[in-house]
Amino acid sequence: MSTTKNSKEKKIETKSSASINIENLSGVGPAIAEKLREAGYSSLEALAVASPNEISSITSIGEATIGKIIAAARDSLDIGFESAAELLERRKSMEKFTSGSEQIDAMLGGGVETRTLIEVYGEFRTGKTQIAHQLCVTVQLPREKGGLGAEALYIDAEGTFRPERLLEIVEKYPDLDPKTMLERVVYIRSFNSDHLQLIVDKLPNFLQEHNIKLIVVDSIISHFRSEYIGRGTLADRQQKLNRLLHKLLRLGEAYNLAIYITNQVMAAPGLFFGDPTQPVGGHVLAHASTYRIYLRKSKANKRIARLVDSPCLPETEAVFLINEQGIQDP
């Protein structure tokens, strides 16, 4: 990345802004700074990606005051209006890493992109969790081998993460030392939707100290699906899901990392032909995802991935296999 043109970028992306105290923001005196720190908002990034209502409810500082502080934090990180030329420049700092499947990489326009949210949905055993494991390994590959030389964070809502599986997958990549690879995947189990939100709210300070380029949430919907049953609670559920997704998106943007989330399917009622399944989560999820990928089973251990929604890529398909060594080209 060029350092002169992109000085703005550096501020957002690297840890350099960690040296700027939150006290330097207008509206933040020592008392407010202390309250913010206690609540876990100790960096500009943590403030910039938060919402007024979230901080206000924890710190009992008024929403209007918090709103101004957040605006000041975003300002000092240069998050705000920009020209298309600046945006293009910023998009150049997006990075891509391989999924381990040439076909999936090609479908995504060259690999898994940072600053984006990829949602993968499909029926059980279609490979959503397997791809999540695979990406935790490939993101660690050196750049010349298609990786980002970075770490991964795995948020497991279903209890299906298996370090043993990572060890099988890594055998295909002699550039990675298995033991170090395992140490560079940070794992956390979430137990309900509030816990999941809390984990995500705490991430800014954690991300400040780690070189994470991939966050997995497997799955984004399972807690919500089991906790909110019945139509009456749907609006509440969607509001919470929306908050969670936007926080994740803002983290992806502020820390230049990829977000991979999995989603489940439900039968589409009243559909008499075509594929009878559709993703759960409604418009909230559809709007938050940059890329949506639909997985379905094919013959033997083959799977078909279809890019169903993307801002600028055509709707294409990729075929892959799941075997001992992970995700492979057929």
Decide if 164 contacts 181 (C-beta within 8 A): no
User: Closest separation between CB of residue 126 and ligand ATP, Å?
Assistant: 4
In whole angstroms, the minimum distance from the beta carbon of 130 to Mg ion comes to 8
Residue ranges that bind ligand ATP, judged by CB under 6 A: 122, 124-130, 160, 168, 322-324
Q: In terms of CB distance, is 23 or 324 closer to ligand ATP?
A: 324
**Any idea which residue has 């705000």 for tokens?**
80
Question: 50 or 137, CB closer to ligand ATP?
Answer: 137
Which residues, other chains included, contact 155 with Cβ-Cβ below 8 Å and sequence gap of 6+? 188, 190, 196, 199, 200, 215, 216, 217, 218
Question: At closest approach, how far in Å is the CB of 99 from ligand ATP?
Answer: 13
Nearer CB in complex with ligand ATP: 32/327: 327
Q: Which residue is nearest to Mg ion (CB)?
A: 129
- Binding partner of residue 14 among Mg ion, ligand ATP, none, CB cut-off 5 to 8 Å per kind: none
Q: Six-digit token pair at 308?
A: 């169903």
Least distance to Mg ion, CB of residue 123, Å: 10
What is the Cα–Cα distance from 138 to 146, expressed in whole angstroms?
A: 8
Query: Tokens 């998106």 map to which residue?
Result: 249
Region of residue 324 (phi > 0: left; psi between -120 and 50: alpha; otherwise: beta): alpha
Q: Considering the complex, what minimum distance in angstroms separates the CB of residue 161 from ligand ATP?
A: 10
> Rounded to an integer, what distance in angstroms lies between the CA atom of residue 166 and that of residue 129?
12
| Smallest gap from residue 239 Cβ to Mg ion (A) | 26
Instruction: Count CB atoms within 10 A of the CB of residue 309.
Output: 16
Residue 242's binding partner out of ligand ATP, Mg ion, none, with CB under 5 to 8 Å set by partner kind:
none
CB closer to Mg ion out of 157 and 249: 157
CA dihedral for 242, 246, 247, 248, sign (positive or negative): positive
CB-based contacts of 196, cutoff 8 Å, min separation 6 = 155, 157, 190, 217, 223, 244
Residue 126 binding result from ligand ATP, Mg ion, none, given CB thresholds of 5 to 8 Å by partner type = ligand ATP
In the bound state with ligand ATP, the residue whose beta carbon lies nearer, of 127 and 281, is 127
Report the residue number, 286 or 322, with the smaller CB distance to ligand ATP.
322
